[in-house]
Amino acid sequence: MPRTTVLVPALVLALLLAEGGGGMGRASAAAAELTITAIPVPELKAVFGRVESRTVVPARARIGGTIRQIGVTEGSEVKEGQAIALVVDDKLALELNAAEAKIKELRSQLANARTELDRNQQLLTRGVVSQSRLDQLQTQFDVAANQVAAAEADKAVIAQRATEGAIVAPATGRVLTVPVTLGSVILAGEEVARIASGQYYLRLSLPERHAADIKENDTVLIGQRGLSPAKGGDRTTARPGRIVKIYPEISDGRVIADVEVAGLGDYFVNERTLVWIPVGRRAVIAVPPEAVTTRHGIDYIRVASPDGPLDVAVILGETFPDNGGTRVEVLTGLKDGDRIVLPGSTK
């Protein structure tokens, strides 16, 4: 027999030993074993949640007039009481002038009534005029004094209306819309700006078939910003949130739920983000990711058997967090009660 015919079978045998029997052969004992049991995990459904503000308050004009100043734009941060626009009514200046002229007129009448009253008081002491005449003059003086007080109050009302041309922010928050422009004419009560003043939250719209599966205080997972799965990430990188309210009315086959989550203050109002919500539970076979090895595009898990460890080909599912770590679901290849061999130093 030629020498080459002896070397070829020996080389094939060495390769088979090095690869552990092509993924199904026996392997030497590993350092640790883990018994696999089916564990219940939440059945999660991926939906899009919309960022909303708990309260949106309008900043309204208190008087009618022409807008002369606008100090904010969409996206501006404002503080409660901050002046954001100015409305000017030119008629108020004319009304103030008229009120001032009226006050001067009434003050002249009051001065005249006072002079007449003082003169008749002196004549009464001399017995020239009667007491009834003095009482009549006293009444005229009181009427004139009251008229001056009323005119001054009317002037104060007009002055107050002039100061109400300054439109202030009703609450601290972010300006969403400014539906007016400089020079536009508005009436009292019209909206000048809308301000998102409340805490941000996520609003979910779910199919009606999940109405009985979701509950208040359930934990949900919120992805990163971005509509695509590439930007939104997966469940392992998601952050938790909590369902705080489920609305009892179902509209157009959708049930509405609100989710509270920290750190949404830098989001846009009405921005959508990926959310995973629990809609049930299922039993899965899951293993630590380090128990899986991949060779030639096929995933293997080493399973303990009476004849020694065997590499079993498996099909993997999704990865999910578990007790501070992660687990990967095994769809086929393992069953409840199998003992897997974790990688480690061989004995």
What predicted TM-score, i.e. pTM, was given to this entire model?
A: 0.57
**Domain that residue 170 falls in:** 56-89+165-196
Q: Does one domain contain both 174 and 67?
A: yes
Distance CA 44, CA 40 (A): 12
Out of 280, 299, 325, a domain closes at: 280
For 83-111, the pLDDT digits (tens) are: 999 999 988 888 889 999 999 999 999 89
What is the pLDDT, as a whole number, of residue 178? 94
Say if residues 78 and 84 touch (Cβ distance below 8 Å): yes
What is the pLDDT, as a whole number, of residue 244? 92
Q: Does one domain contain both 73 and 137?
A: no
> What CATH number is given to the structural domain containing 155?
1.10.287
Q: What is the DSSP letter of 129?
A: S
Residue ranges in the chain whose pLDDT is less than 70: 1-31, 226-236, 266, 344-347
Contact residues for 207 (Cβ-Cβ < 8 A; gap 6+): 253, 254, 255
Distance CA 293, CA 227 (A): 32
What is the pLDDT, as a whole number, of residue 229? 60
Residue 26 has which token pair?
């026996």
What is the pLDDT, as a whole number, of residue 278? 85
What is the residue-wise DSSP string for 171-201? Answer: SSEEEEE----TT-EE-TT-EEEEEE-S-EE
Report the number of distinct structural domains present in the chain: 4
What is the pLDDT, as a whole number, of residue 189? 92
What is the pLDDT, as a whole number, of residue 344? 64
What is the pLDDT, as a whole number, of residue 208? 87
What is the pLDDT, as a whole number, of residue 48? 87
Closest to 72 (Cα-Cα) out of 200, 161, 173: 173
**Helix or strand run (H / E) with residue 202:** strand 200-207
Q: Does one domain contain both 316 and 250?
A: no
What is the pLDDT, as a whole number, of residue 325? 79
Q: Does one domain contain both 77 and 96?
A: no
> Looking at this protein, which amino acid is placed at residue 307?
D
**Helix or strand run (H / E) with residue 11:** helix 3-18
